[in-house]
Structure 1
Amino acid sequence: MIHPLTLTLDNPLLKSKNIRIAIYRGDLEHKQAPGNKWHKLKFNLEAAKAQGAKQLISFGGPYSNHLHALGNIALSYAITPIAIVRGELHPQLTPTLRDFVKAGGILWPSKRIDYRAGMESELVADLKAYYPKAYWVPEGGSNSLGVKGCCDWAQEIHAQAQALGEFDTWVVSAGTGATSAGFLAYETKNENNSPDVLVFPALKGGEGLLDDIQRFALTQNPQTDIERLKIIGDYHHGGYAKLPQELKDYIEKLHLLNPELKLDPVYTAKVVYGLEQEIIKGHLDNRNLLLIHTGGLQGWSGYQ
Structure 2
Amino acid sequence: MERKTLITSTRNLAQLFATLEVKEASPQYSLDLAWPNSHNISVSIKRDDLLHPIISGNKWRKLKYSLAQILGSRTLHIVSFGGGFSNHLHALGFCCHRLNIRFTAIVRGDYSANPSPMLHDLQMWQTDIQYVNKITYQQRESPAYLTLLHQQYPNALIIPEGGSNKLALQGVAEIISELDQHYDYIIAPVASGGTLAGLIKATAHSATHILGIAALKGQGYLEEHVQALLPQTYQHWGICHDYHFGGYAKRSNELVDFCNDFYHQTRIEIEPIYSGKLMYAVKDLINRNYFNKGSRLLILHTGGLQGSRAIGQRASIL
Instruction: Work out whether the TM-score is over 0.5.
Output: yes
Whether the 8 Å contact between 1:144 and 1:216 is mirrored in structure 2 is yes
TM-score (norm: length of structure 1): 0.87
Letter in 2 for 1:277: D
Partner of 2:7: none
**How much has 1:122 moved relative to structure 2?**
8.5
Q: Could you tell me which runs of 5 or more consecutive residues in structure 1 were left unpaired when the two chains were aligned.
A: none
Kindly indicate whether residue 183 of structure 2 is the aligned counterpart of residue 167 of structure 1: yes
1:119-138 matches, within 5 Å, as 119-120=141-142, 127-138=149-160
Whether the 8 Å contact between 2:107 and 2:130 is mirrored in structure 1 is yes
Equivalent residue for 1:187, pick from 182, 203, 225: 203
**How much has 1:30 moved relative to structure 2?**
2.2
Whether the 8 Å contact between 1:154 and 1:182 is mirrored in structure 2 is no
Letter in 2 for 1:209: L
- Distance of aligned partners of 1:215 and 1:115 in 2 relative to their CA distance in 1, 3 Å threshold: closer
Partner of 2:305: 297
How many residues align structurally?
Answer: 285
Equivalent residue for 1:89, pick from 79, 102, 111: 111
Give the distance between the partners of 1:95 and 1:234, measured in 2 at CA: 30
Partner of 2:283: 276
Give the distance between the partners of 2:82 and 2:95, measured in 1 at CA: 16
Whether the 8 Å contact between 2:30 and 2:42 is mirrored in structure 1 is no
Equivalent residue for 1:203, pick from 193, 216, 223: 216
Give the distance between the partners of 2:174 and 2:258, measured in 1 at CA: 32
Give the distance between the partners of 1:196 and 1:254, measured in 2 at CA: 25
Whether the 8 Å contact between 2:211 and 2:238 is mirrored in structure 1 is yes
Give the distance between the partners of 2:33 and 2:245, measured in 1 at CA: 20
Partner of 2:20: none
Give the distance between the partners of 1:243 and 1:84, measured in 2 at CA: 26
Select the structure with the greater relative contact order (CA < 8 A; seq sep ≥ 6): 1
Give 3-state SS (helix, strand or coil) of 1:270's partner: helix
Give the distance between the partners of 2:239 and 2:218, measured in 1 at CA: 11
Give 3-state SS (helix, strand or coil) of 2:188's partner: strand
Kindly indicate whether residue 29 of structure 2 is the aligned counterpart of residue 21 of structure 1: no
- Distance of aligned partners of 1:126 and 1:88 in 2 relative to their CA distance in 1, 3 Å threshold: farther
Give 3-state SS (helix, strand or coil) of 1:7's partner: coil
**How much has 1:187 moved relative to structure 2?**
3.1
**How much has 1:230 moved relative to structure 2?**
1.6
Letter in 1 for 2:300: I
Partner of 1:238: 246
- Distance of aligned partners of 1:154 and 1:128 in 2 relative to their CA distance in 1, 3 Å threshold: same
Give the distance between the partners of 2:99 and 2:219, measured in 1 at CA: 34
Give the distance between the partners of 1:181 and 1:170, measured in 2 at CA: 12
Give 3-state SS (helix, strand or coil) of 2:291's partner: coil
Letter in 2 for 1:214: Q
Give the distance between the partners of 1:4 and 1:106, measured in 2 at CA: 42
Q: Could you say which structure has the higher helix fraction?
A: 1
**How much has 1:249 moved relative to structure 2?**
1.3
Letter in 2 for 1:216: L
- Distance of aligned partners of 1:198 and 1:248 in 2 relative to their CA distance in 1, 3 Å threshold: same
Partner of 2:194: 178
Quote the sequence identity (%).
32
Q: Could you tell me which runs of 5 or more consecutive residues in structure 2 were left unpaired when the two chains were aligned.
A: 1-26, 313-318
Give the distance between the partners of 1:140 and 1:62, measured in 2 at CA: 13
Kindly indicate whether residue 28 of structure 2 is the aligned counterpart of residue 2 of structure 1: yes
Equivalent residue for 1:256, pick from 264, 267, 274: 264
Letter in 1 for 2:117: P
Give the distance between the partners of 1:61 and 1:95, measured in 2 at CA: 12
Give 3-state SS (helix, strand or coil) of 2:300's partner: strand
Letter in 1 for 2:217: K
Equivalent residue for 2:235, pick from 227, 230, 233: 227
Greater shift in the superposed pair: 43-52 or 116-125: 116-125
- Distance of aligned partners of 1:120 and 1:184 in 2 relative to their CA distance in 1, 3 Å threshold: closer
